[in-house]
Amino acid sequence: MTDKTSAQHRAVRPLARAKALPPWALVAAGVLVGGALGGAYGALKTPTYSATSYVVVVPAERSDPSDALGFAQAYGRVATQIAVLGDAQVWAGVPVSTLRSSVRTATSPDAPMVAVTATSSRPDLAADMANAVSRALTRHADDTSDATHVELQQFARAVAPTEPSSASPLLTGLVGASTGGLLGGMLLLVRPRRTERPEGPTASLPAPAVAADTRGAL
């Protein structure tokens, strides 16, 4: 056997082993690779913290209590506008652009309350931003209380969180593993299938007999 033939045989052996792997091996490989990548992402990503403060709408003496719920929805929408964030940046110590990207508000259809949530890589800064926006929103509501007949009061201050709100490495690893397994299953479905050839010699069919020309014999 020549060197060239030996090299060809050595190149074919790994391919033959790969074809001999069971179908579930592709799914298992996707789970392992996806889990490793997801866990590494969760471990290397900077954790983020979230803090929430609450303000409540209180109707005045001559105001309809049902109006407080509607004003709570309105204050929830204007809390992230430039007029409020412009005042909040003084107390938070961050620019308006940071407040706009880090602060979110939420309201309830059943209670006249506004939740102001701020997210940051620093727990103390997250609490400061949430409290600053709540304070600025309360001052703007007080300036228009004669026209709206409602007041906005602080219900609960935000405190610095002790645990991050971002996903843990375990969770990102599980998400990556499930995604990798799903991709492996999809590749398993779309891969070309081998056509099994029958083993042993193939019997050849006899050629059709040529009809004899009997016209001359008649």
Residues 108-151: pLDDT tens digits?
A: 888 899 999 999 989 999 999 999 999 999 998 888 887 888 88
Helix (H, G, I), strand (E, B) or coil at 121: coil
pTM here is: 0.62
The whole-number pLDDT of residue 133 equals 94
Beta strands (DSSP E) in the chain are: 49-59, 103-107, 113-120, 150-156
Mean pLDDT of 81-97: 90
pLDDT on residue 104: 94
Q: How far is CA 163 from CA 124, 169, 171, 202, 217, in A?
A: 12, 14, 15, 72, 108
Is residue 84 over pLDDT 80? yes
Report pLDDT for 188: 67
The whole-number average pLDDT for the span 165-188 is 70
Mean of the per-residue pLDDT values for the chain?
76
pLDDT at 18: 47
Domain ranges of the chain: 22-45+167-190, 49-156
> Which CATH architecture does the domain made up of 49-156 adopt?
2-Layer Sandwich (3.30)
Highest mean pLDDT among 15-29, 142-156, 192-206: 142-156
Report d(CA 52, CA 188) in Å as an integer. 46
Question: Per mean pLDDT, which range of 38-42, 60-64, 108-112 is the poorest?
Answer: 38-42
pLDDT reading at 15 higher than 50? no
Q: Which three-class secondary structure string do you get for 71-117?
A: HHHHHHHHCCCHHHHHHHHHHHCCCHHHHHHHEEEEECCCCCEEEEE
**SS3 category, 166:** coil
Mean pLDDT of 33-53: 75
Residue 72 has pLDDT above 80, yes or no: yes
189 vs 55, more confident: 55
